[in-house]
Amino acid sequence: MNKKKIINDPVYGFINIPSAILFDLVSHPYFQRLRYIKQLGMTHLVYPGALHTRFHHALGAMHLMGLAIEVLRGKGHVITKEEEEAATIAILLHDIGHGPFSHALEHSLVNGIRHEDISMLIMDKLNEEFDGRLTPAINIFKGKYHKRFLAQLVSGQLDLDRMDYLNRDSFFTGVSEGVISFDRIIKMFNVLDDDLVIEEKGIYSIENFLISRRLMYWQVYLHKTVVAGEMVLVKILKRAKMLAAEGAELFATPALAHFLQNEVTEADFFSSDIHLEMFTKLDDQDIFASIKVWRSHSDRILSKLCNMLADRNLYKVEISNEAPDPARVVMLRENTALALKLDDPDLEYFVFTDVIRNRAYDAGNSNINILLKNNSTIDIAKASDLSNLESLDKTVKKHILCYPRII
């Protein structure tokens, strides 16, 4: 069977699956599941085109890895065929541990387990199936391979994951502020002392990359309506889990029922294969099919929340730099209790506060270093003449207040 396939990608045009093992990994049920997990969770509630998937994104990142390695080889850096294949596998599988609706439910179904850790567990399982052939890829993914720059291409401040998702998300949402010169940035890649660096003439493309990332967070990923949709989804799962714990009858697929009926901790997840087996059968369709059925559930809170999401009648969300006035929150709770005829414990589903954070550049975590003509390096925040670039290295924290629109 010919396993060197060509895929027509809407962002990059025709891209190749370069080897038989990559074809087999793409064909594996663990990877095919990503077709049914949206890349941007609830963002389609604001940008109707944002219906692309983790499957799209992983293939795009794989394609960019091929371009990056070709550029670095052209500049005299030795990357063997085996290393190229390992790095490409690592980037292809970097998101394989994502749950339904991507980040929205990361802590709702399984308690406090990062998708990166689940990705690692799935990669270990695949490695067993593939007779240890994924070991070099896993070492690159963990940052344990001796060529550091390969790990930095997979996970870092300027990795190919970010390069693809900014490019792809701006394409599908139509938000032009997120457009980056990914091809120029990759052509400016170089390696110095085993670290990935950017040649000096690429500095303006990097500035644009960092500013685009910040704008995409506020305009797309943390848009207040997107936040509202994700918060409703989180509250639905919280209510469903509470009802399941009390023994209520809830429609759910076997995979979703497993996580509703069991309080799965991190220790549980990594000590028993059943949790991973169920997780790898879970996608967006399990969740939304249940929400459609729960719209007519006898529990009034669950029914109300599911109807809010299905009808896009979401929370009113206020975003501010300061924490909301406690007296106003109390007033909103009182008004909501009267309007919806709710008891005090149930108000947490309809009136609540939270915090959102955005950090476009984390200089302490694998800096973006600019390679100067004298072969020394300088951090992008210091090399740039943009006065606001250093401010991107600060975590911006904003407070949100959610409450029903009828109040």
Residues 6+ apart with CB under 8 A from 20: 3, 4
Distance (Å, whole) CA 184 – CA 198: 11
Query: Would residue 204 count as lying in a domain?
Result: yes
Tell me the mean pLDDT in the region 365-375: 86
Query: Would residue 105 count as lying in a domain?
Result: yes
Contact between residue 19 and residue 4 where contact means Cβ atoms under 8 Å apart: yes
Residues 368 and 341 in one domain: no
pLDDT at 226: 96
Instruction: Give me the chain's average pLDDT, please.
Output: 93
Reading the block at residue 114, the tokens are 């990062």
pLDDT at 385: 73
Q: What is the CATH number of the domain that holds 210?
A: 1.10.3210.10
Q: Is the confidence at residue 96, as pLDDT, over 60?
A: yes
pLDDT at 198: 96
Q: How sure is the predictor about 2, in pLDDT bands with cuts at 50, 70 and 90?
A: confident
Residues 207 and 320 in one domain: no
Q: Find the Cα–Cα–Cα–Cα dihedral 29, 31, 35, 36, rounded to 10°.
A: 70
What are the backbone dihedrals phi and psi of residue 21, each rounded to the nearest 5 degrees, phi first? Answer: -65, -35
Residues 231 and 206 in one domain: no
Residues 231 and 124 in one domain: no
Residues 6+ apart with CB under 8 A from 249: none
Going by C-alpha positions, the residue among 305, 398, 396 that lies closest to residue 354 is: 398
Query: Would residue 405 count as lying in a domain?
Result: no
pLDDT at 390: 64
Query: Would residue 402 count as lying in a domain?
Result: no
User: DSSP 3-state assignment of 61?
Assistant: helix
Residues 123 and 93 in one domain: yes
Residues 186 and 275 in one domain: no
Contact between residue 172 and residue 164 where contact means Cβ atoms under 8 Å apart: no
Residues 48 and 190 in one domain: yes
Contact between residue 158 and residue 370 where contact means Cβ atoms under 8 Å apart: no
Query: Would residue 293 count as lying in a domain?
Result: yes
Task: Give the lowest-confidence range in 80-89, 99-108, 142-151, 268-277.
Answer: 99-108
Residue 193's CB is within 10 A of a number of other CB atoms, namely 9
Q: Where are the beta strands (DSSP E) in 176-331?
A: 189-192, 195-199, 316-320
Residues 213 and 239 in one domain: no
pLDDT (tens digit, 9 = 90+) per residue, 19-53?
Answer: 999 999 999 999 999 999 999 999 999 999 999 99
Residues 242 and 377 in one domain: no
DSSP code string of 282-298? --HHHHHHHHHHHTT-S
What percent of the chain is helix, strand and coil (3-state, nearest 5)?
Answer: 55, 10, 35
Residues 191 and 278 in one domain: no
Structural domain boundaries, residue 245: 224-357
pLDDT at 365: 59
Q: How sure is the predictor about 363, in pLDDT bands with cuts at 50, 70 and 90?
A: low
Tell me the mean pLDDT in the region 239-248: 95
Residues 190 and 269 in one domain: no
pLDDT (tens digit, 9 = 90+) per residue, 217-228?
Answer: 999 999 999 999
pLDDT at 37: 96
Q: Who wins on pLDDT, 70 or 105? A: 70
Residues 22 and 150 in one domain: yes
For the chain, what is the domain count? Answer: 2
Q: What is the CATH number of the domain that holds 286?
A: 1.20.1250.30
Query: Would residue 351 count as lying in a domain?
Result: yes
Tell me the mean pLDDT in the region 152-159: 93
pLDDT at 381: 79
Give the global pTM: 0.94
Query: Would residue 399 count as lying in a domain?
Result: no
Q: Is the confidence at residue 230, as pLDDT, over 70?
A: yes
**How far from chain centre, in Å, is Cα 107?**
13
User: DSSP 3-state assignment of 313?
Assistant: coil
Reading the block at residue 239, the tokens are 């209510």
Distance (Å, whole) CA 21 – CA 28: 10
What are the backbone dihedrals phi and psi of residue 321, each rounded to the nearest 5 degrees, phi first? Answer: -75, -25
- The domain boundary residue, chosen from 312, 337, 357: 357
Tell me the mean pLDDT in the region 251-271: 92
pLDDT (tens digit, 9 = 90+) per residue, 336-348?
Answer: 999 999 999 999 9
Could you tell me if residue 247 is left (phi over 0), alpha (psi between -120 and 50 degrees) or otherwise beta? left
User: DSSP 3-state assignment of 311?
Assistant: coil
Contact between residue 10 and residue 108 where contact means Cβ atoms under 8 Å apart: no
Tell me the mean pLDDT in the region 141-150: 95
pLDDT at 277: 96
Query: Would residue 191 count as lying in a domain?
Result: yes
DSSP code string of 86-138? HHHHHHHTTTTT--TTGGGGTTTSSTT--HHHHHHHHHHHHHHHTTTTTHHHH
